[in-house]
Structure 1
Amino acid sequence: MSTRVVAALLAGASLLSLASPARAAPAPPGIETWLVAGAPTGTYRPWQLDTPDQALPPTVYEPSAAEDAVEPPDAAPGTYAPVEYVPPADVVSRTACTKRTGPYQRAVERWLKRPADGRQSAADCEAIRAFQRAQGITPAIGFAGPVTWARMQLVAARGNPNAAKKCPVRSYRVACVDLDRQLTWVQKGTKVVFGPVEMRSGRVAHPTRRGWHTVYWRHKNHVSSLYGTPMPYAQFFDGGEAFHAVYDTLHTLVGSMGCVNLTLGDARRLWNVLKKGDRVYVWGRRPGT
């Protein structure tokens, strides 16, 4: 384990005793002060972990045929592994099945059809662990954290992501960006033609702007003119806000600088679905903000 990870664990442990009692979803603001990633997330990449997306509209130009022919490089294996955020003490002690109540406890209990009392029990822990193992979430210690809850949202949405009818149905393609559940999909009429997939939207200071937008520029190999960082499969829909891939986990406790971040594979598939002029609809609020 790197020096940076150990330092983060120790810093998190010093804050653990100050944490407020856990509550049901959405998670309380400030959750990042007492939870840490339960496993190393790979090489330290601050420009990706903090996602310095375009704050201003990019300079629009027509990429050359040679530039368009180059596919962005693949992400390293394990880049998008779902790593749960857990109390640092559970990481240090290598807890097998936690006794701690997670911030999404009551919501996770309801989803698993457990008694929704908002208090962790041995049976709750085993049920949560079983779901985490089935979904490849690590560490699978039964902690009802944000990654486990996010995956439950995705699993529940797969059959009909627009069951609540929050994304307007139109005869043309609409890219739906659900900030509440941190999911995105594309529908044409009532037919879902892409997704739903997990995403990461804007943080408190730089929220992804809600309402109707239009895809106005696409660049497969875009590099941020402000930060010099890659934005693979970028599809801009409002000023500097775009759908694009990131080369690190989507599961961070802070959001992007406004863009809708996707895994490389999902961003590539979305690139092949959307076109310039397609509409985008954004609604809701990122949990914990």
Structure 2
Amino acid sequence: MRNIRRRGAVALGVAGLVAPLTLALGTAPAQAASCTTQTGPYQKQVEKFLGRPVDGRQSAADCKAIQAFQTKHGITPNAGYAGSVTWGVMNLMNKQKAVGNNPNKDGACPVNKGRIACVNLTLQLSWIQDGRTLVYGPVPVRTGRDGYETRTGLKKIYWRDIDHVSSIYNVPMPYSQFFDGGQAFHSVGLSMWNPPGSHGCVNMTTTTAKKYWSLLKNGDDVFVYGRKPGT
């Protein structure tokens, strides 16, 4: 059984509860590498996404634009090559944008549970709804990578810790709301499109995690479905 540390806390507030920790760590954006002159297999798609002239040929300006995108989102190597990982992130962003304000259009997340937090692994989106009414979102999230997948199914928030600290990695997991063993909603200081993903938790920006903290409580339902790309 693992111990769980909290900053400034004397007790867990839940008698006898020790949650296994599943942390979503990622690599901070690396310093820019030398720009490649190679034309990538997704050159035209990447050029279009970045608003560059779409000619399918790598230029110095193309490389700098691609490299800036890679650095911002922690994509490595960040040499400005229009490869599958970079295009995969961009393509996911396009799909997320296309959802608009109707994330549960297919009705996959239950509408008969009242207040519920939904997580679509396929699109890496989450939102809170009450019946058929959208309460908050959708917002991009970062879920479990291959081998550490965020588990699917209907769950409930069973423990909340605003200043949680991982005893495994000794790093903060602010605004943690645990819903399946060590898997929780919590904020991270990474891009939501930082590959390959978390160690099982549903990562959020600080703004989103604070909003989820204010809108959810112990006992609220969480529904996770779909499959994260690459898992």
Cα distance, 1:227 vs structure 2: 2.5
1:56 shift after superposition: 7.1
Q: Any gaps of 5 or more consecutive residues in structure 2?
A: 6-10, 15-27, 53-64, 71-79
- Give the alignment partner of residue 69 of structure 2, picking from 126, 129, 139: 139
* Cα deviation, residue 288, structure 1: 1.0
Is residue 225 from structure 1 mapped to residue 172 from structure 2 by the alignment?
Answer: no
The one-letter amino acid paired with 1:139 is: F
Q: What secondary structure is seen at the aligned counterpart in 2 of 1:242?
A: strand
Cα distance, 1:167 vs structure 2:
1.1
Aligned residue identity for 2:208:
D
Alignment-derived partner of residue 127 in structure 1:
48
Q: Structure 1 pair 264/234, CA: closer, same or farther in 2 (3 Å)?
A: same
Q: Using the alignment, how far apart are the partners of 1:243 and 1:125 within structure 2?
A: 31
Q: Determine helix, strand or coil for the equivalent of 1:139.
A: helix
Residue aligning to 1:61: 12
**Which blocks of at least 5 consecutive residues in structure 1 are unaligned?**
1-54, 64-80, 103-119
Runs of 4+ in 1 over 6 A off after TM superposition: none
Give the aligned CA root-mean-square deviation in angstroms. 3.1
Q: TM-score, normalised by structure 2?
A: 0.69
Q: TM-score, normalization: structure 1? A: 0.56
What is the CA–CA distance in structure 2 between the aligned matches of 1:221 and 1:189, rounded to whole Å?
A: 30
1:27-66 mapped onto 2 (5 Å cutoff): 61-62=12-13
Q: Is the 8 A contact 1:221 1:231 kept in 2?
A: yes
CA change 1:129–1:199 in 2 (3 A) is same
Shift of 1:187: 0.8
> What is the distance in 1 between the residues matched to 2:3 and 2:144?
16
Find the partner of 1:92 among 15, 34, 44. 34
Higher fraction of strand: 2
SS in 1 for 2:51: helix
What is residue 108 of structure 2 aligned with on the other side?
166
Correspondence list, 1:174-253, <5 A: 174-253=116-195
Query: Using the alignment, how far apart are the partners of 1:57 and 1:165 within structure 2?
Result: 40
Q: Secondary structure at the match of 1:165?
A: coil
Q: Distance in 1 between matches of 2:49 and 2:194?
A: 20
Q: 1:201 to 1:209 in 2, by over 3 A?
A: same
- CA gap of 1:156–1:62, structure 2 versus 1, over 3 A, is same
Tell me, in whole angstroms, the C-alpha distance in 2 between the residues paired with 1:285 and 1:190: 23
Distance in 1, matches of 2:228 and 2:217, equals: 26
Partner SS state of residue 225, structure 1: coil
Distance 1:154 1:209 in 2: 21
Secondary structure at the aligned position of 1:147 is classed as helix
Q: Distance in 1 between matches of 2:46 and 2:165?
A: 44
CA distance in 1, matches of 2:142, 2:157: 18
Who is 1:286 aligned against? 228
Question: Any conservation in 2 of the 1:126–1:142 contact (CA below 8 Å)?
Answer: no
Instruction: Please say if residues 58 and 240 of structure 1, whose CA atoms lie closer than 8 Å, have aligned partners that are also in contact.
Output: no
Does the 8 A contact of 1:127 with 1:142 survive in 2?
no
CA distance change for structure 1 residues 233 and 125 in 2, over 3 Å: closer, same or farther? closer
2: distance between equivalents of 1:276 and 1:220? 13
Give the equivalent residue in structure 1 for 2:21. Answer: none
Aligned mates of 1:279, 1:58 — CA distance in 2: 24
> Per-residue CA shift, 1:75-123, capped at 9, x if unaligned?
xxxxxx9x8xxxx9xx63366xx84223xxxxxxxxxxxxxxxxx54xx
